[in-house]
Amino acid sequence: MAYLADWRIALAADLLRESDETEGAVARKVGYADVSGLSTAFKRRRGTTPTQHGAAARDPLVR
């Protein structure tokens, strides 16, 4: 299960970085029912929120 969770979060991170999709759309694509579930899992595994990750990926000055 840990592998699957890590894979889903890695995929979500890629989508947030490389696309203009909303967090809700990304959450559904990687198997979460809503943004809240994705956000909780993302923060637990990456130490940052999906919003912060996406912003940092688009603007290298945001950290």
Range of the domain at 54: 2-58
- Domain membership flag for residue 19: yes
How many structural domains compose the chain?
A: 1
- Domain membership flag for residue 63: no
Alpha-carbon span 7 to 10, nearest angstrom: 5
Q: What would the pLDDT profile of 2-16 be if each residue is shown by its tens digit?
A: 899 999 999 999 999
Q: How confident is the model at residue 27 (pLDDT cuts 50, 70, 90)?
A: very high
- Domain membership flag for residue 17: yes
Alpha-carbon span 33 to 56, nearest angstrom: 25
Q: What is the pLDDT of residue 61?
A: 66
Alpha-carbon span 60 to 55, nearest angstrom: 8
Q: What is the CATH number of the domain that holds 46?
A: 1.10.10.60
Q: What would the pLDDT profile of 35-46 be if each residue is shown by its tens digit?
A: 999 999 999 999
pTM of the model: 0.85
Q: What is the pLDDT of residue 16?
A: 93
